[in-house]
Amino acid sequence: MSSTTQSPNVSSKYWMVAVAVFFLGWVFIYAGRSLLSPVMAEIGATYDITLTAVGGVVSLFFLAYTGLQVPSGIIGDKIGRKRVLVIGFMIYALFVGLVYFANTYALFVIIWMIAGAAQGSYYGPQYALSSEAIPPKHLAVGSAIIGSGMSFGIALGYEMSSSSFKAGNDWRVAFVYMAIPIFITALLILFFIKEKVNNGNTAQVATEKKKSVTMADFLSLFKRRNLLMAYIAIFCSIYGFFVIITWLPTYLETERGMDKAVASRVASIVPWLSIIGTIFFSWVSDRLGKRKAVALFMLPLSLLSIFGIVYSGNLDNSTTGSTILGLATNPQNILLLCVLVLYGFIGKISLNPVLLALTAENVPKSLLSTAFGLYNFLGMCGSILAPWMTGFIATKTGNLNASFYVAAAVTVIGILALLFVDESKNLNKREA
């Protein structure tokens, strides 16, 4: 299976099939990794480790995940993106299931890192295949629908983890259940995804030179200012995002005194609202043909939201007697819910397809998988740093508050990077 082999003629609706399958891919990637968040304290108790070490488990997972981004993109461009996706998902399913047998901390770390590496094979090849399949005028919205699978996955992972633990008091059981749909998704990719599809951009496809990716090609990506700024922006956005999705359930439980089930339910506001935000802002981005303006609207609001999560804890906590999602309706909880709704609407998941479209418009088609792999590699470096840094700060300060302020500060850097984007210099002009 070669990435340069043109697929047979396919239906004009094939891109919708691709979007649906890749949507499921993200559902179960995020569901699998989100299983840990509601049971961070239990993981620490099981292996008798500190919060720093618990955060380190998550960081090591993302270290392996991030380390595979560029290699999987390059390999996908050379031997076939579909092949990389199927093999990666099969390995992912196997090692998620094996978590059940991790009776020592060291074994758990090894198994979880291999699962993370397997997940790392997905991003670049998947977005390269979907970018080829989705017509240019639907690129951001199509990518948004795919990316909304992340939202469903986070909520599913939170719910499955907390429910399984409550039912059997063993946090490992949920991993066995999760391995089954992951394996089924691998089969869907195998049977329904085409290796290379012409999305109607025939002139551009015809002029692309079929060649292997060289080091010069790879280094050329760093010479494109818009790409570099998109890479910096996604790093900063992902840092804040992984502080929230990794530690928010634990933060709400330990700092706000919420029940585990209530904390997971409240934390799920972020992924559920991001489904609407992802599609809305991607639609706006496609209609305007302006990625920079939309991103610069979203990131400052992300900054405000992250800051507001901690600031809300300083308000009056007197209650009125009524409840929302199991929470007393006091000023603290009302503001907390408001900023979580806001972050869900404009946070990393919603911002991602806008920056993906910016990336796609600034790279040769022959380097799409490599460029997306590099995009996610540099961005996901934030996911390596955020969980460990959050746990480290919490260990040193005795609470998680300062970690959220650090995430807000990192977001400022992303805002500054976007100011240097010049869309008039996009390599691939947007088609109406």
Q: Which residues of 98-133 are buried (b: 16+ CB within 10 A; e: fewer)?
A: bbbebeebeebbbbbbbbbbbbbbbbbbbbbbbbbb
State pTM to two decimals. 0.74
Strands 327-328 and 323-324, how do they pair?
Answer: antiparallel
Residue 139, pLDDT score: 76
Question: Is pLDDT of 295 > 60?
Answer: yes
- Give bridge partners of residue 328 from the DSSP assignment: 323
Residue 406, pLDDT score: 92
Q: Which of 270, 230, 232, 234 is nearest to 252 (CA)?
A: 270
Q: Cα separation of 317 and 396, whole Å?
A: 27
Question: Is pLDDT of 141 > 70?
Answer: yes
Q: Which of 138, 133, 143 is nearest to 195 (CA)?
A: 133
Whole-angstrom CA distances from 7 to 69, 87, 330, 403, 409 are 25, 20, 58, 48, 46
Q: Which of 32, 9, 182 is nearest to 112 (CA)?
A: 32
Q: For the residues 151-172, what does the mean pLDDT come to?
A: 85
Whole-angstrom CA distances from 291 to 132, 176, 196, 230, 282 are 19, 40, 26, 10, 9
Question: Is pLDDT of 1 > 50?
Answer: no
Question: Is pLDDT of 396 > 70?
Answer: yes
Residue 211, pLDDT score: 55
Tokens of 36: 């840990």
Question: Is pLDDT of 207 > 60?
Answer: no
DSSP state for residue 324 in the 8-state scheme: E
Residue 40, pLDDT score: 84
* Class of domain 14-196+214-425 as given by CATH: mainly alpha
Question: Is pLDDT of 429 > 70?
Answer: no
DSSP state for residue 432 in the 8-state scheme: -
Amino acid at 215: M
Number of alpha helices (DSSP H) and beta strands (DSSP E) in the chain: 19, 2
**248-277 residue pLDDT tens:** 888 888 888 888 778 888 888 888 888 888
Q: Cα separation of 19 and 140, whole Å?
A: 12
From the CB of residue 209, how many other CB atoms can be counted at a distance below 10 Å? 8
CA 15 to chain centre: 21
Residue that has been written with the tokens 């043109």 in this structure: 6
What residue ranges in 139-226 does DSSP mark as E strands?
Answer: none
> Which one has a higher pLDDT value, 82 or 223?
82
Whole-angstrom CA distances from 345 to 21, 158, 217, 302, 338 are 24, 19, 36, 9, 11
**328-376 residue pLDDT tens:** 777 888 889 999 999 988 988 788 888 888 888 888 777 777 787 788 7
Domain ranges of the chain: 14-196+214-425
